[in-house]
Amino acid sequence: MVMAAGAVEPVRITRDHADEMLPVWDPAGETIVYRTNREPGRVPAIASVSADGSKERLVATGRQEGFGICSGSKLAWVGKSGKVVTGETSQFHEFLEFKPEPERLTREVLDGDDDHFSVKLVIDGGGGSGLFDISRDGQVALWRHSSIGGNGTVSLRLAPYPDLTGGKTSETGALLVRRENTREKDAAFMDGSLGPKGEFVITSEASGAGYDLFLYEVKAPGKRTQLTTKGREKGWHFRQPVISPDGKKIVCAMRSPIGETRQGRIYPASWDLALLEIGEQKLTALTATQLLSENSPSWSPDGTRIVFSRRDTTEAGTVEPAEPDNANLYLLKIE
């Protein structure tokens, strides 16, 4: 692994003192949506900000029975339509589509459609999901279905996004791959990302003592290519892969198995960001920070920048005066 030459210092773009997490960049422009817990009681809500740090605002809130809106998975833009899909785990677990408006939207119902939100998938059978993605052209959806709360089979399924009308995650669309899962090991598929037109899928999967990245070709079921091996060989974790707009690169979060020693104690290593060139399988570290965890990257439409979440801490000296430890969004240029 090599470090990026001439690395540029990332720029902070959110200023609220709550946690700003799981950002996703609009393929059509400069708007970024993300999860925040700035509402009273620190319950999940959806916010947005422009890439230059302006127009930071709440976009949508909902009923907070269970875990509420924007829980269970990251957000996903529906191509360039301006619409967004969010997970909701109130009474039933669902994936909902909505379109952000100038005024904040408030979801009043526990489940089902309302004036602003429509159900695209229902997570059925007491299972879990935690993964939902849409190709950059808005035409293909990918999701994970875990049976029996994750202690059973774990499946990745695909379907044309326009065809989703509220069916079950366990049976809608076509099966890409299925794995057995047990509570002794984390979910077989932790994360996943679709190619620009849904032609391939990148996954993060349990591999040895760690997690590695794999590529599945949609038109060749069962064909799997391993892109990283340090998870299997050395216990590294490669998570949250996101494919570039041209389909040639992946940015992901990575963590070393070697902990950090601070004040005589050993702590788990922080998360950093890495860039992987798919064809050459060349891995480049984009960040290498101690005391700070960087994760949840997302590409700009032109593929020259990424937005990500970083947990700032007093110990690291990155919070502002009177600001508590919290997660913020940052922009990083990709040279």
pLDDT at 3 over 50: no
pLDDT of residue 289: 85
Question: Rg for the chain (alpha carbons), in Å?
Answer: 19
Neighbouring C-beta atoms of residue 278, cutoff 10 Å: 19
**Helices (H), ranges, the chain:** 230-234
Per the CB < 8 A criterion, the answer to whether 278 and 215 are in contact is: yes
pLDDT at 317 over 70: yes
pLDDT of residue 64: 63
Per the CB < 8 A criterion, the answer to whether 123 and 117 are in contact is: no
Read off the tokens for 327.
């997660």
pLDDT tens per residue across span 38-54: 877 677 899 999 999 99
pLDDT at 18 over 60: yes
Q: Beta partners for 32?
A: 25, 49
**Integer Cα distance of 140 and 319 in angstroms:** 40
Please name the residue that has the structure tokens 């947005």. Answer: 48
Those residues whose C-beta lies under 8 Å from the C-beta of residue 62, and which sit 6 or more positions away, are 45, 68, 69, 70, 88, 90, 106, 107
Q: Provide φ and ψ at 293, rounded to 5°.
A: -115, 120
Specify the length of the chain in residues: 335
Prediction pTM value: 0.92
Read off the tokens for 179.
């794995």
Domains belonging to the chain, first-starting first, are 2-333 (2.120.10.30)
Per the CB < 8 A criterion, the answer to whether 301 and 245 are in contact is: yes
Per the CB < 8 A criterion, the answer to whether 48 and 104 are in contact is: no
Per the CB < 8 A criterion, the answer to whether 14 and 20 are in contact is: yes
For residue 205, give the amino acid letter: E
Per the CB < 8 A criterion, the answer to whether 43 and 18 are in contact is: no
**Integer Cα distance of 54 and 49 in angstroms:** 6
Q: Beta partners for 329?
A: 309
Question: What one-character DSSP code corresponds to residue 128?
Answer: B
List C-alpha distances in Å: 265 to 7, 257, 268.
Answer: 30, 15, 10
DSSP letter string, 57-75 = EEEEE---STTEET-SS--
Reduced to 3 states, what is the DSSP secondary structure of residue 40?
helix
User: Across the beta sheet with 20-25, what order do the strands follow?
Assistant: 20-25, 31-36, 45-50, 57-61, 105-106
pLDDT of residue 82: 98
Those residues whose C-beta lies under 8 Å from the C-beta of residue 5, and which sit 6 or more positions away, are 335
Read off the tokens for 128.
């879990």
pLDDT tens per residue across span 106-138: 988 888 899 999 999 998 876 666 799 999 999
For residue 242, give the amino acid letter: V
pLDDT tens per residue across span 279-300: 888 899 999 887 789 999 999 9
pLDDT tens per residue across span 155-196: 899 999 999 999 999 999 999 998 876 544 555 777 899 999
